[in-house]
Amino acid sequence: MEIRELFFGHRRVCLYHLVNGSAPLVYSIDYHENGQLLLDACKQVGCSGFNLVTISGLHWNQELSPWPVETVVSKDDNFAGEAPQWLPVLTGDVVPQVERLLDAPPAWRCLAGYSLAGLFAVWAAYHTDLFSRILSASGSMWYPGWLDYARANEPALPLQGVYLSVGDKESTSRNAVLQTVGERTQALALLLAERGLNVKFEFNPGNHFKNPPLRVVKGIKWLMENE
C-alpha cells in the first residue's frame, strides 16, 4: 500500500493506493483523517478492491453546508453555506491532482461522507457529474430546506448507486430539527428510488456517534457489490 499526502490550503488529502490498474476510487470526507480506520473496518466486512482518498481539515459547518441557515444545533453552528465555493476546489483541484498519482484512471468514483459531509455528498451530486456513486452515512438530511431542494431538482448525472444510512437512535434527539433525520433520510431514499436510481437505505444500531468508519464501509461494500 502506498500513501500520498497533499494539502489544499487547510484541507488535508490522503491517497491510499491499494489497487493497481483501473479500480473504483472512493473520496471520503470526514472531520478527522481516518483512512486506516476505514481500511480496518473494511477488513471486518470483507470489502476490498478499491482505492481510497480521505479529505479532512475542512471548515466543517461552513464549507459543507449548501446554503446559510440560522442556528440549529447550538449558538456556534455557523452554517455559512460555503459548499458552492468548496465543490469547485474538490472537482477542479483535488480530483485531478489525486488522479495524476494513480497508474490508471478510476473505474468509477464515489463521493462519501459522514454527518454533514454526507449531506454535502448528496448535494454535490446535483452540481457535478464526476461521481457516479454517492454514499451518505448518518447524513444531515435534517438540514433546513434540503428535502424541498432534492424534490425540486435532479442529480447532474444518472447515478449508478446511492447508499443512505442513519442510526436507529438518531431521531431520539431532544432537538426538534434533528429528530427529523430518520424520516427525511427515508423520504430522500424513496424520492431517488422513484426517479429510477439504485438506492439502498439502511438503519444502523446506535446514535449519531456509534462507529462511523463501519457505517461508511458498509456503504462502500454495498456500492461495490451492486455495480
pLDDT tens digits for range 19-63: 999 999 999 999 999 999 999 999 999 998 999 999 999 999 999
Mean pLDDT of 90-98: 98
Tell me how far apart the alpha carbons of residues 63 and 65 are, in angstroms, rounded to a whole number: 6
Q: What's residue 23's pLDDT? A: 97
Question: First vs last Cα of the chain: how many Å apart?
Answer: 24
Share of the chain above pLDDT 90, in %: 84
Give the residue among 40, 41, 52 at the shortest CA–CA distance from 15: 52
Give the residue among 97, 4, 91 at the shortest CA–CA distance from 54: 4
Arithmetic mean of pLDDT over the chain? 94
CA distances from 33 to 56, 59, 110 (A): 5, 14, 17
Q: What's residue 227's pLDDT? A: 74
The answer on pLDDT for 74 being more than 80 is: no
The answer on pLDDT for 95 being more than 80 is: yes
The answer on pLDDT for 79 being more than 80 is: yes
Q: What's residue 75's pLDDT? A: 76
What is the SS3 assignment for 199-217? EEEEEECCCCCCCHHHHHH
Q: What's residue 171's pLDDT? A: 85
Sequence-distant (≥ 6) Cβ neighbours of residue 89 within 8 angstroms: 8, 11
Share of the chain above pLDDT 70, in %: 100
pLDDT tens digits for range 155-200: 998 899 999 999 988 888 887 888 899 999 999 999 999 999 999 9
Question: pLDDT class for 102, splitting at 50, 70, 90?
Answer: very high
Mean pLDDT of 140-163: 95
Tell me how far apart the alpha carbons of residues 160 and 199 are, in angstroms, rounded to a whole number: 9
pTM over 0.75: yes
Tell me how far apart the alpha carbons of residues 141 and 115 are, in angstroms, rounded to a whole number: 9
Q: What's residue 157's pLDDT? A: 86
**What is the side-by-side strand order in the sheet with 199-204?**
2-8, 11-17, 51-56, 25-29, 109-114, 133-137, 161-167, 199-204
